[in-house]
Chains A and B, each alone.
Chain A
C-alpha cells in the first residue's frame, strides 16, 4: 500500500471517486449522492485504518466493513478497486448482465464485501452479530459499519442499538453518513432523529462527531478508534451529499444520477484535475 499521509489518502479518495464515475459511465446511472458523501470515510477505513489484506480477503482476523446503506455501494466498489481487491476492468461491467457489481452489494460475487445489504436497517444487526462472534472467539478485530441518516427510521436499527449496548459490544463502530438528504427531501423534515448524539448516548453508546469529508479530521478520529471502554461507538459524520460532484453537491436531485454525456465528461475532467493536482503534491513532498 502507498503512503498514509493525508495527501495520499485524499488522492485515494479522488481516485475512488473517479472509479465511481467509470461505473456510471458503464451503467449510465447510479446512486452517486450517498456514494460521494461517505467515500472519504470508506477510503480512510480501507487505506488507513482496517486490518485487511486484498490478497487474502477472507483472513480470519481481518477487520470487517459493512455498508448498511447498500445503495451507496459504488463508493465501496470504487475504494475496493483502488485498494486492489479486484481488477479495475470489472468497473466497466457496472449495470451489465451478471456483473460482479450489482446495484446493492453481494458478498458471494465480490471479495471484500461482507454482507448483502441494500434493504435498509439490516447492517447494524449484522455488524452486532459479527462483532459478538469475533469477540466470542477471542479475536480483537473491529467491525465498522456505515449507515445512512435516512435509514435510521427503520426500527430494526434501534433493536440493534439496544443489543450492542446491552452486550457491551465495544468492537463495533458505526458511522452515520449524515448528509441530511433523502429521496423526498431533508431528512429532518421527513423523519427527524435529532438530537442523534443524545439518542445514541441514551442507548448507551459512545458518540463522536466528525466532518466526514475532511480527511484530516477523519484520520484524527480513526486514531482514537475503537474506544474499548465497554461500549459500542457511534460516529456522527457530517457530510455533503454528492461531495466532489461540482454540479450536484448538497442537492437531493443527485441521490440517483443519470447524467448526460456532457455532464459526465465535465465531472470526469474535474475529478482528473484534482487527481493530477494531488499527484503533483505527493511528488513534490517526496
Chain B
C-alpha cells in the first residue's frame, strides 16, 4: 500500500529502503502543500518517478467538494421535477380526489341526517329505498334558490365513474378558488338543479382531483345525479359534443338553440379537451329523469349501479 510505505518512511526518518534525494525533499514540500490543496498528486508524480510511492495519505474520508455537492443538488432537483410530473399526472389526482370524495360524502351524509321538514308520503322511507316513489318529470320538482358565489350547495354522483365518485358542487366557475380547488363549478345564471332550463357545470379533467377525467366514458342513459338538501335529481346522459371555448351557446336554456325559450330540464357538463390540453371543450348533455326526496332514500339510479 502506498500510504503504508509513506507512513513508515515518515516514522523512520532516513532509514527507509529508498535513498533520500533532492527529489524527495521536493516531494515532501509538495506533500505539505498537498495537505492543504488536496490536488498536488499529479504534481508530485511529475517531478520524479521515485516519488510516486510518496503519494499523499488519503484521509479516512474525502471532504465533499463544491462540484460534488452541486452535482448532487442538481440530480436531486431533477428527481423532484420528475416526481412533480408523476404527481400532476397520476398521484396528485388520486390524493386530492380521495380527499374530495370524503368531503362530498360528509356533506351528503349531513343532509341525510337532517330531519326532513316534509313528511314521508307513505310507509317507512328506509324499507325499500330502490322502490321509493320518484316524481315523474312533469311533477312538481323543488328548486333551490340561486346560491351565493362559492356556496357548496350540492353533491354530484355519476355511477359510471365509480361507486365512490362524488364531488361537491359550488356556485360559480372561478378558476382558482373553485375549479382548482377540486370543486364542480355551477355556471352562474344557468338553471338550478331540477329547474326548467339548462343547469351547467364545469370541472377539471386532470389536476385538482380531476372530477371530469372520465367524461368521455359516459354511455347513453347513464345516470348523473345531483343531491341537494331537498333530495336527488337524476339526469340521464344523452350525448357528447366538442366545441371551441368561445361556444357559449352550450349554456343556453336549450343548449345550442339560440333564441329558443326553455322547454325542458337539461343538464350540461363542460371540461377541457383533448385531455391535458385546452384547445377545445368537451360537452356532455343530459336530460332530466326524476326527482327523489331525501325522505325517500337514495334513488334507484344510485343504488343499482351502472348497466354494462
Q: Do A and B bind each other?
A: no
